[in-house]
Amino acid sequence: DTAVSQTPKYLVTQMGNDKSIKCEQNLGHDTMYWYKQDSKKFLKIMFSYNNKELIINETVPNRFSPKSPDKAHLNLHINSLELGDSAVYFCASSTYSGSGNIQYFGAGTRLSVL
């Protein structure tokens, strides 16, 4: 079983549309994240949720709205898509074990806005 799974893997859409990316983890972790990796390959955190509560929101436009229905899921909804939103979006999860906090990443969702 995949530990952190994202759907869809590829997403091609027109400017102005609204789309969602789903993420699920079966590791029992209490913290989940969304990262964006643009064409320059820089991996930047967008959001972090701990036990369904938002704990990090890194100056992301409010067109991006994360939703965590439970600890195992963190979905990302994007309104009014823009060309600059084209990127690879990675979901991750982690938990503190007493000897560190290891993040596990999904395979990514490749979003192309035309």
Partner 1 sequence: DAKTTQPTSMDCAEGRAANLPCNHSTISGNEYVYWYRQIHSQGPQYIIHGLKNNETNEMASLIITEDRKSSTLILPHATLRDTAVYYCIVRGTNAGKSTFGDGTTLTVKP
User: Does residue number 89 form part of the binding site for partner 1 (CB under 8 A)?
Assistant: no
Smallest distance, partner 1 to C-beta of residue 75, A? 17
Q: Is 102 in the site for partner 1 (CB under 8 A)?
A: yes
* Preceding omega of 8 cis (within 30 degrees of 0): yes
Nearest residue (CB) to partner 1, 64 versus 105: 105
Q: How many CA atoms lie within 13 A of 29 on its CB side?
A: 26
Of residues 7-36, which lie at the interface with partner 1 (CB under 8 A)?
31, 33
Residue among 28, 32, 36 nearest 87 (CA): 36
Here's the x/- map for partner 1, 34-73, by CB under 8 A: it reads as ---x---xxxxx--x-------x-x---------------
Residue range at the interface with partner 1 (CB under 8 A); choices 12-20, 66-74, 75-83, 89-97:
89-97
Q: The tokens of 61 are what?
A: 């436009």
> Is 108 one of the binding residues for partner 1 (CB under 8 A)?
yes
Q: Find out whether 11 and 109 touch, Cβ atoms under 8 Å.
A: yes
CB 17 within 8 Å of CB 82: no
Q: Does 103 bind partner 1 (CB under 8 A)?
A: yes
Cβ proximity to partner 1, 8 vs 16, nearer residue: 8
Alpha helices (runs of H) in the chain, residue ranges in sequence order: none
What tokens does 92 get? 């991750």
